[in-house]
Structure 1
Amino acid sequence: MTKRVLLGQFMHETNTFCQRLTDETAFRGFYCHQDDAVLSALADTENEVAGFADIARAEGWELITPVATFATPGGPVTQPAWHAFGERILTAAREAGPFDAVLLSLHGAMVLEDGTDGDARLVRELRAILGQKPIFAVTLDLHANLDPKMANDANIILSYKTFPHVDMRETGRRAAGLLRRMLARPPVRARTLVRKPAMITLPEGGRTDREPMLGLMAQAQALTEMHPAILDISLNAGFSFADVPEIGPSVSVVHLGAAQIAEQIADTLCKAMWDERDANQEAVLTPQEAAAAAASHSAGEHDGPLVLADISDNPGDGAYADSTALLAALLEGGGSDILFGALHDPESVLAAQAAGKGNTLALSLGGKSDPAFGGAPLQLHARVEHLGDGRFVCGGPMWKGVSQSAGPSALLRIDGIKVLVTSHATQALDLEIFRSNAVDPAAMRVVALKSTQHFRAAYAPIASGILLVDGGGLASPRLDRLEYWRVPRPVHPLDPP
């Protein structure tokens, strides 16, 4: 008999310190597909939905796909946005059943306007509607702030194992593959156990291209292979820019009737996380130091650009993406042949459109969201080099094939610097965000990005070097600038051990 599976994707990483609420428009502006369009848009991309579809096609499952949507990280998700997408999935559960299983692609760090966990709410309400019969499989981002109580309602909970997240599709396959095993062996059911150490996050957000995360992941893999009843172990780094009770790293262990072994494994890995809580991190420069490095960089014909990554103003962490400290330093002393972006400033895009391509205009650029985080607006003159609609298709390892939008955009030239200005806050993790706006990052001497780690998947292969910068934005690693009221205490690094 054909298995009927409810498939939904509703993803947001919420920075509760960000004053820019995430509304329905933010989801629809980035990507939003409904009903039959879900699979036609995502089935051949590097996305969890594609991984779900790979297994579903092979098994002949009937998929019901009410919605797949994602919004750039930002402030809390509004109630109308929840109603538009969360309720759409719940309505399908009520009206399109019965179902043998549920596949959900969530982030794991969604916070609603009322401060509650949006991911846990969706799983809990789905279980209340569908009852205990369907098997639930949930995929999460590696930066989930996972509420252990989600395991009361979801049988299978697993996460990406890479940062940059280049295994989205594979994660979908893993989850659907475990679901396939459960559907083939009723009444055998997997369960998930979750444990959390008392930490805000792992060093460097758990980047998986260096220690300590490399070692932690290897340890988790070895433990998985050691016990046949252990189906998956996921390590979540947590998301530090959220003042929520469920904050912090976690270990989730998917098992078949091996709760005691799962507990031992989770406790072992939580201790390993704790032991690495103060591991060495890559050096981070000031904007002035970064500008000096840019000025001294001499790129040969085949060397590739020097990449500067302002980790503090990364919209992928919910920062405003309009801080000006690094741009100001580069204008003052970084030299020429520099590409900077993407800077979020809808007002400046409108002004550039009014001026027209090829013309020069006076601008108050950037710094409009909160000058306390990364600097005030810059008063300057800029030449409009290109105007675009902001649409592009990712070509790099992360989200390859996924269509996205940065909103109406303008490429401006300010002295020796080209600045990409966008209407939507969008992380420049893919080369195509620039190429779609008539500039090739690989041809520039220096590229300055607002990104923490994801950019490495696409930019490391073309870069002659990479330097990290703290421009004072909302996502600065200096957590002492933020006030946490709702997190469990004591917690590292806010409190002494």
Structure 2
Amino acid sequence: MMTFTVLTAEFAHESNTFSIRPTDIAAFRARLFLQGDAAVAERADANTDIAGFMDVARAQGWQTRHAISASASPAGPVTRGAFDEIAGCILAAAKAGPLDGILLGLHGAMVVEDHPDGEGLLLERLRAVVGPDLPIAVTLDPHANVTARMCDLAQIVMSYCTYPHVDMRDTARRAASLLQRMMTGEIAPRTLRVTRPMLEEANSGRTDEGPMIARHALARAHEDTPGALAVSINAGFGNADISELGPTVLVTHTGDAGPHLAFAQALVDDIWARRHEVLNHFLTPAEAAAEALAHTGPGPLIIADYADNPGAGSYGDAPGLLTALLDAGVTDACFGPMVDPEAAALLHEQAVGAEVTLQLGGKTDPRFGGGPITVTGTVALLSDGRYTGDGPMIGGLPGDWGPTAVLRVAGVAVLVVTNHGQMLDLQQFRAFGIDPAAHRIVALKSQQHFRAAFTPIAARVIVCDSGALCSPDLRRLPFHRVPRPIFPLD
């Protein structure tokens, strides 16, 4: 068996250009910043890109050179210093010796503070080192804003097929398998891209129900046609004011592009034709609180605040939903996360059992989601914020909220955290003494990803728009750079 040398790396960020919080190197170090063997050791048996890459590497007998695994919680554009440091690590590994191929686990919606296409910029720098022909395979999040440059510079581009993203390892395995075939000379692939003038797909690519189920069935069927290797359907990421954004369909193929181009066009035309078919019915915080007050079970009512989703770059500190629950007198409820480092630090100065009055939430940018509220509660728990996920998305992976407290305010247990992140695993509550399944009401900040872990315990799920930075109504945002006309702005 021929032994290939393959460079691997993970470098992911979803950049919300409307956020006032820049993503610096400290933000990467707070979430994920592991180099070489340390990254592989922690992440190679979980739902990660590097796990899928290593599955194939072991099976094929590759020599792998893992540069880095780095990601930061979605926020504002990545600083040039952070980008240069992480990209520099990948470039140094590329220069360390001859390579037969490169595998990159990226996101696809990275914006650098002075460049709108972070992934394209990384690939340009890599091509300057390895030349125009070395096989490169890239995996992406389906919320990628895939640019023409990405598809020009990487021959294989493949996105996850599920949202919640429970198939990251599987997608990486598929991409690595195609890279193997390319390195042996069996295939000479390239990737085509088709798009439409939209900020994002109507339901952000939701795959548990709705039209994306049928689209993916068509995509899998097309992969069985001559020359087709992989079809990717990307919903896009609408919270980015850049020139290339929105839904795309990609086909990685060999041979004549014609039939694959026609297929991709038909899929993206369907996304356009169904642009008004929104699955979710978004309640106001007051309406959600009224539903909570009336809920009798069995099982909890899950209320997800989509607008304050840290997983899309919102600040996680909008108090609107919590205020509505408290004003309505909702009891037997838990709420989290409330991302408020100042409040978490103040609570850590108290003893468990102490009663405290403080300003909570609304401190980052009150224009989106409102300003702080004053609450009085009892400190129920203090923690360093560390946990290990056990759900479909992050099972086995460590997480860290930073200094964390549970504050019981009237009938609501509020998880107050330091580090920015969304709720997508039951252990993000349970590790801090809150069992969501034992509460009548579970209010959380997340968009769609929470469903993988929380739907199995839920009596019902409702969704809320608190008016925070990631409101589903993108017309509220001050776009200046997107090409016009574009839906739904025009």
TM-score normalized by structure 1?
0.97
**Matches of 2:219 and 2:45 in 1, distance apart?**
30
For residue 89 of structure 1, report the CA deviation from its aligned partner.
0.5
Structure 2's unaligned 5+ residue stretches are: none
Partner of 2:90 in structure 1? 89
Partner of 2:252 in structure 1? 254
Structure 2 counterparts to residues 259-270 of structure 1, below 5 A: 259-270=257-268
Partner of 2:241 in structure 1? 243
SS in structure 1 at match of 2:455: helix
Partner of 1:65 in structure 2? 66
Aligned-pair identity (%)? 47
Partner of 1:207 in structure 2? 206
**Matches of 1:67 and 1:156 in 2, distance apart?**
20
For residue 488 of structure 1, report the CA deviation from its aligned partner.
1.4
**Matches of 2:374 and 2:315 in 1, distance apart?**
19
1:146 counterpart letter in structure 2 = V
1:217/1:235 contact within 8 Å kept: yes
For residue 436 of structure 1, report the CA deviation from its aligned partner.
1.4
Show CA shifts across 1:247-271 (max 9, x none). Answer: 1010110001222222212212121
Deviation >4 Å, runs of 4+: none
Partner of 2:216 in structure 1? 217
For residue 334 of structure 1, report the CA deviation from its aligned partner.
4.4
Given the alignment of the two structures, is residue 280 of structure 1 paired with residue 281 of structure 2, yes or no? Answer: no
Partner of 2:483 in structure 1? 488
Rate the CA distance shift 1:240–1:334 in 2: closer, same or farther, 3 A: farther
For residue 165 of structure 1, report the CA deviation from its aligned partner.
0.5
Partner of 1:305 in structure 2? 300
Show CA shifts across 1:153-195 (max 9, x none). Answer: 1010010100011101001111001111112235x41111111
1:230/1:258 contact within 8 Å kept: no
- Per mean C-alpha deviation after superposition, the further-off stretch among 350-359 and 257-266 is 257-266
SS in structure 1 at match of 2:175: helix
For residue 406 of structure 1, report the CA deviation from its aligned partner.
1.5
Structure 2 counterparts to residues 41-440 of structure 1, below 5 A: 41-94=42-95, 96-185=96-185, 188-225=187-224, 227-299=225-297, 303-440=298-435
1:5/1:103 contact within 8 Å kept: yes
For residue 228 of structure 1, report the CA deviation from its aligned partner.
2.2
2:475/2:488 contact within 8 Å kept: no
1:342/1:419 contact within 8 Å kept: yes
- Per mean C-alpha deviation after superposition, the further-off stretch among 121-130 and 460-469 is 121-130
SS in structure 1 at match of 2:375: strand
Given the alignment of the two structures, is residue 29 of structure 1 paired with residue 39 of structure 2, yes or no? Answer: no
- Per mean C-alpha deviation after superposition, the further-off stretch among 436-445 and 304-313 is 436-445
For residue 390 of structure 1, report the CA deviation from its aligned partner.
1.4
**Matches of 2:377 and 2:450 in 1, distance apart?**
26
1:322/1:345 contact within 8 Å kept: yes
For residue 116 of structure 1, report the CA deviation from its aligned partner.
2.2
2:80 counterpart letter in structure 1 = Q
SS in structure 1 at match of 2:122: helix
**Matches of 1:458 and 1:280 in 2, distance apart?**
23
**Matches of 2:463 and 2:138 in 1, distance apart?**
33
**Matches of 1:67 and 1:378 in 2, distance apart?**
41
2:116 counterpart letter in structure 1 = T
Show CA shifts across 1:222-252 (max 9, x none). Answer: 2222x12100100000001000111101011
Rate the CA distance shift 1:334–1:161 in 2: closer, same or farther, 3 A: farther
2:329/2:411 contact within 8 Å kept: no
**Matches of 2:76 and 2:201 in 1, distance apart?**
22
SS in structure 2 at match of 1:234: strand
- Per mean C-alpha deviation after superposition, the further-off stretch among 342-351 and 79-88 is 79-88
For residue 115 of structure 1, report the CA deviation from its aligned partner.
3.9
**Matches of 1:213 and 1:353 in 2, distance apart?**
45
**Matches of 1:147 and 1:463 in 2, distance apart?**
38
Show CA shifts across 1:351-373 (max 9, x none). Answer: 00001222111110000011221
